[in-house]
Amino acid sequence: MLSSDKIDRINVLARKKKDGTMTPEEASEQVALRAEYMEAFRKEFRSQLDSIKFVEDEEGYQH
């Protein structure tokens, strides 16, 4: 996953955007950080989905 420093920076930038004090440079930084975060999230989520194993009980139902 993303480092805690980068996640903290994303949160700081989100607060600045909400307050209306964000500069254009910070806006582009926020876009890049969010893209990096989403890429890491999707990768981790995909690995979790890939590790799921399906099993059947005695009646043949899958759980």
Report whether pLDDT(61) > 80. Answer: no
- Whether 2 is covered by a domain: the verdict is no
Predicted pLDDT at 63? 59
Show the domain range for 33. Answer: 24-49
CA dist., res. 23 & res. 30, Å (int): 10
- Whether 5 is covered by a domain: the verdict is no
- Counting the structural domains of the chain, the total is 1
Spell out the long-range contacts of 50-59 with Cβ–Cβ below 8 A and sequence spacing 24 or more. none
Predicted pLDDT at 1? 80
Predicted pLDDT at 11? 97
pLDDT tens, residue by residue, 7-59: 999 999 999 999 999 999 999 999 999 999 999 999 999 999 999 987 877 77
Predicted pLDDT at 14? 97
- Whether 29 is covered by a domain: the verdict is yes
